[in-house]
Structure 1
């Protein structure tokens, strides 16, 4: 029945663990799928915004190309500059992000500016990054420079510039288009990226150009040495990542895409907590349902186990009562077969055992021997020391005999009064005589004083007899008489000895 309890408990735990493991795996798999879907959506959005940024830079590049070619072929005369001014005005209607255009000559002096807001772009041209780049680099590709701020209007712009050359191919100046960051950010703000999301445009060198939500302190920030940039952005055209932002410390899920035509990278980031909010709600709902199911299952299983234990307890009580009854019966049987004083087998047990051993000897063709012990002058001992001492003496001698025979079939019994008997199955007469001598020596070794005996101590006389094979069949009486006769002869010979 205990096995039933263990089996029920094992099955209950197996179900609980299996359901818990399956639920955990399902929740974890759902989380992985959610993150994968978020990465895919973020990548798609990053590609779309990258296309948007490329379109703006491409329109700016086409404008710069047209202006630079016109100036290189027709010169920078007043009439030609007016035509350029008109061209820029028409282009501003097509390109909302365009705040204006300025032209800088080879010395760094501004030649034309479409609006007054560009004084910061033109006035310090000789020190501006775009001017130094085109002066020292013969490439005719557009250059996307760092954001600059107009001191008059306070607006931030991104500079997109192109090199101009004279007829001999020497550096002739720079044409610069200014893209307003505020107008650049307007489409970003129309996209739902959650309360902690962010969209940014940066150079591939690690300089931030535009970021939504807008924070002025982030404009132009250089994170080229940031571990996150070096690990995720440096050598990859596009990808996804998850890390804590160095700008605001927010943990986000990032997707980025580098432009195929310009040295810029577009990044879309969602706050991890916002992105996993729906998954978290679903996971909590699933875990709640499963927890309730497991609780109900555990309650039912516990009740089942308790009922099994109660049944086991009841059966154990019945078995214990049955065992107590059997023990009581065995004690009664033992009392019926045991001498109360010495603890040896009583006369009844002796008679039964002797009959069985004689039949076995006849059946198997072996020998069976009998030793009869009689304590010498035991009546005098009782008269001298009292019956209590006599009982103690009888117990001591009985213990010597019990300890002296070790084989399972040997039996020591109280034959009557001070007479003790030892049945020795499968033992011939010579072996019985050896056992008798050994036991006599151990009785002497007790050294129990007996001043009424000629020997001065308690001694015993032994008669030994043996029957062999078929002669033992129903020969128990003959065996007892032979041992008794030998005992009589030993007494006649002076006692304290064994005779056959």
Structure 2
């Protein structure tokens, strides 16, 4: 009997010890998995937030590039500044985080502010970004530390570029301001718990933005924190766990250094909060160890709920990332095409002309350029109004596009009522055929123009080709084509004029 009792006791002891060991092993394994899930989730958040931040900087950089090109091409007169202000207003809905765009003269005076009237005597020559561009000839954009706006008193981040005058000297600064509150809109949609935090810093440790927002952290340097002093030195992305020097809370950190910008995205989750679900699971497992099946069912339900919640967050992040990609693609299309006519714009034309000239020189072929000017177009606007003038330009662009058939041929809006056509592998005679076809199409269309001597819209076309034996430049080719256009207009308009290198002139109708 005792032997049986001993055997039962032994069996019960073995079963008890086995169940206790199995439960302990399961609980500790669950803890490690929970920590791993938190780290993976944090890394996913850093990837999405890094993409979000890079997208905002890229959008701001593209906008600044376009504004600088206009300033250096058109100057800073009142009319030019008014056009820039209207351009910025059209771009603002595409960039919700953008607070405004400000233009500064070389002495720091405000020339334009897109979101508020210019205060009397406003001058920003003491701002760090202005001093940087004034003293550094680099044309690269500059991301500044957060500063408090002197007008609205809100915290903003600046992304700025310098622009030069016609002599290449410093002429001023264009700055995009990003409201920290607007910038943090997406950050605030992410659940990082009561002790969690999201940060965006420079690689030298200077803080740009932090969620939850704390004013005392604006511009603060965290270069001595373990992430910057220890982990980022060895790897650009990873996870870590340590106690914060700010509030003494132990957190799980996920960090990622951008490979395109000098920025570091950090997501921190409170370790106690992150393990709250695990502690509940361990307690339930300990209480209901005798009812293993019921506990297994409860754990399964908790895991499914946690996975569904994580999948929902990841789906929202993927949707946000896709929206950012679509916004970037839309901005890229706007940067390369004229908004009115849909043709390639001046920037796209300049890049294509330089590339085609290099190709022509490399393969010893000819490249021909057509410069087209709509005759008496100012009179057309004066007679019918600018909206009708815009519609006329759109009609002409569509009409002339039908005369361009080869894939590499490019019709672009050069500026105002001037258009330009790049014809690779084409000599003057072939280009003249295309030009005559354009003039014939305009004549057949017979768009009414009471300000023209002919009674309908016409055009003058200048034609110039590169030399086969000698290198050529875009500026030289443009100058010859512009000379031919001028001669066509002097000869009575509604015609084409050919300038053949090095300067002989041929006139054709």
2:29 paired residue number: 29
Deviation at 1:15, TM superposition (A): 4.5
Deviation at 1:170, TM superposition (A): 3.4
In 1: Cα distance, 2:119 partner to 2:208 partner: 20
In 2: Cα distance, 1:232 partner to 1:191 partner: 25
Deviation at 1:48, TM superposition (A): 1.1
In 1: Cα distance, 2:122 partner to 2:203 partner: 25
Deviation at 1:196, TM superposition (A): 2.0
2:67 paired residue number: 67
In 1: Cα distance, 2:284 partner to 2:3 partner: 37
Deviation at 1:83, TM superposition (A): 0.9
2:143 paired residue number: 144
State whether structure 2 residue 45 is matched by structure 1 residue 45. yes
Q: How many residues align?
A: 292
Deviation at 1:242, TM superposition (A): 1.6
State whether structure 2 residue 145 is matched by structure 1 residue 133. no
2:57 paired residue number: 57
Deviation at 1:2, TM superposition (A): 9.7
Provide structure 1 residue ranges, at least 5 long, that are not aligned to the other structure. Answer: 294-500
2:410 paired residue number: none
Deviation at 1:35, TM superposition (A): 1.0
SS of 1:191's partner is coil
2:435 paired residue number: none
1:442 paired residue number: none
In 2: Cα distance, 1:253 partner to 1:103 partner: 42
1:120–1:150: 8 Å Cα contact kept in structure 2?
no
Q: How does 1:56-455 map to 2 (within 5 A)?
A: 56-116=56-116, 123-125=123-125, 127-290=126-289
2:307 paired residue number: none
**Cα 1:56–1:119 shift into 2, 3 Å:** farther
Deviation at 1:156, TM superposition (A): 0.8
Deviation at 1:33, TM superposition (A): 0.9
Deviation at 1:119, TM superposition (A): 6.5
Per-residue Cα deviation, 1:391-426 (whole angstroms, up to 9, x for no partner): xxxxxxxxxxxxxxxxxxxxxxxxxxxxxxxxxxxx
In 2: Cα distance, 1:255 partner to 1:42 partner: 5
Shifted more, 225-234 versus 84-93: the winner is: 225-234
**Cα 1:258–1:99 shift into 2, 3 Å:** same
**Cα 1:88–1:141 shift into 2, 3 Å:** same
Deviation at 1:81, TM superposition (A): 0.9
2:241–2:252: 8 Å Cα contact kept in structure 1?
yes
In 2: Cα distance, 1:111 partner to 1:266 partner: 35
CA RMSD in angstroms comes to 2.9
2:255–2:264: 8 Å Cα contact kept in structure 1?
yes
In 1: Cα distance, 2:166 partner to 2:107 partner: 17
Structure ranking higher in helix proportion: 1
Per-residue Cα deviation, 1:79-136 (whole angstroms, up to 9, x for no partner): 11111111111122221111111122333333333244886997233x3221232234
1:117–1:153: 8 Å Cα contact kept in structure 2?
no
In 2: Cα distance, 1:160 partner to 1:121 partner: 23
In 1: Cα distance, 2:263 partner to 2:109 partner: 29
Per-residue Cα deviation, 1:50-103 (whole angstroms, up to 9, x for no partner): 111111111111111011111111111111111111111112222111111112
**Cα 1:4–1:117 shift into 2, 3 Å:** farther
1:238–1:256: 8 Å Cα contact kept in structure 2?
yes
**Cα 1:121–1:60 shift into 2, 3 Å:** farther
Per-residue Cα deviation, 1:246-302 (whole angstroms, up to 9, x for no partner): 333322222122223222222222221221111111111112233899xxxxxxxxx
1:197–1:271: 8 Å Cα contact kept in structure 2?
yes
1:100–1:118: 8 Å Cα contact kept in structure 2?
no
1:202–1:264: 8 Å Cα contact kept in structure 2?
yes
1:68–1:164: 8 Å Cα contact kept in structure 2?
yes
* Structure ID, larger Rg: 1
In 1: Cα distance, 2:120 partner to 2:256 partner: 31
1:228–1:243: 8 Å Cα contact kept in structure 2?
no
In 2: Cα distance, 1:82 partner to 1:160 partner: 21
2:309 paired residue number: none
SS of 1:205's partner is coil
1:102–1:122: 8 Å Cα contact kept in structure 2?
no
Deviation at 1:164, TM superposition (A): 1.8
Q: TM-score, normalised by structure 2?
A: 0.52
In 2: Cα distance, 1:227 partner to 1:171 partner: 41
Q: How does 1:472-487 map to 2 (within 5 A)?
A: none
Q: TM-score, normalised by structure 1?
A: 0.53
